[in-house]
A = this chain, B = another copy of it.
């Protein structure tokens, strides 16, 4: 009987694996050139690590289990709790600022949708220990450095940026009670995804006062930082605006200003954000957010750690891959790895020479293959071509005099070379 793969999870055959490696390779390379160090944790954590921050309702979005010792565990649905746990564990010995990245495999027990699967990979970058907005700029720059590295331009994507601090201050000035801020944030975060009526309905559950509600709506309709500045009165709001202005200034200096816009509607769903927040979208607004992040200065304290400022970003692989495919930016031909050398032989009696030569090339760091069955040379050359090999080495009786034929598979040119000359080929 045939057993299928688990629903909402992917099999990565070699072509799909090439795409995944292409994306993850760029995630890693860009993280490293931006000065982030890689870390990882286990795929299983204590269930409590997630309920502590998000309450019991998170449980139904998790793959959780009880082990033989009766411990309640869960497959990690996001990386930030693991990061917080690891940082708190060694807080006194880690050099600061902590500037780390990870590319974890994550699972969420949700109904699979376009761009949202039950198993996915997520790039995480975080800077812990830096209060200044320069750290937020670094996070946004690094995100854009990757998106540009895989070929996206300011015509394809936009980073929408706001500030939780600014929004808190503005909502309090309007008259929203401080203890209502968290649920109101959660509702405002859903604003662009809900019909107007449904949005007003759930907003009125939290803000019964019609006049306050209408001021909230006016606030959320603002489209520039200058307009907010005209409204802002409190010292906190003015500071938040100055911080946003400084952020845009740094992003311009970093050469990525053209990707970035102020958008008061960016709120982020999670309760733990405290300052700058941002999301990356496709410019046509056809897909879910490609990435999102922001400042979470209180998170470590929630895990019984010190009060350290922190800011970070997460980007899943699913929406990103859809966008890259839509834009024609995944060239499977180019990213699939073919062999450098295919070692062919003109008669079965020479197969052992081919085996020996392929092994010798590999030990010298070159990639090489050969045919496991002694078939006709033409068939071997066809296999070499099907496998995308760059060169074919043809072994005939001349091999006993140390000579083989080297055939360039792209041009078809061939010439007789010695074994030493082979290794002098550009790799």
Which residues of A line the B interface, CB within 8 A? 1-7, 9-14, 17-18, 20-21, 30, 32-35, 37-46, 48-49, 52, 60, 63-65, 67-69, 71, 73, 75, 85-86, 88-90, 94-95, 97, 99-100, 105, 107, 109, 119, 130, 132, 134-135, 137-138, 141, 145, 148, 250, 253-256, 303-304, 337, 339, 352, 355-356, 359-360, 362-363, 365-369, 372-373, 386-387
Contact = CB atoms under 8 A, between A and B. Distances in A.
Given A13-B86, A46-B6, A367 B32 contact: yes
8 contacts: A5-B89, A9-B42, A17-B37, A17-B38, A35-B368, A64-B65, A75-B75, A97-B372
Contacts of A11: 39-42, 86, 89
Contacts of A369: 34-35, 99
B33 A105 contact: no
8 pairs of A and B residues whose beta carbons are closest in the complex: A9-B42, A35-B369, A254-B359, A65-B65, A33-B367, A14-B37, A12-B40, A253-B356
A373 B130 CA distance: 8
B39 A13 contact: yes
Nearest to A9: B42
Given A352-B250, A355-B250, A386-B95, A43 B107 contact: yes
B372 A132 contact: yes
Q: Is the interface of A mostly helix, strand, loop or mixed?
A: mixed
A17 B45 contact: no
A90 B367 contact: no
Given A40-B17, A63-B65, A85 B367 contact: no
Given A85-B3, A105-B43, A119-B42, A367 B35 contact: yes
Given A5-B42, A85-B3, A86-B11, A132 B373 contact: yes
A304 B4 CA distance: 12
A316 B238 CA distance: 56
Contacts of A105: 43, 105
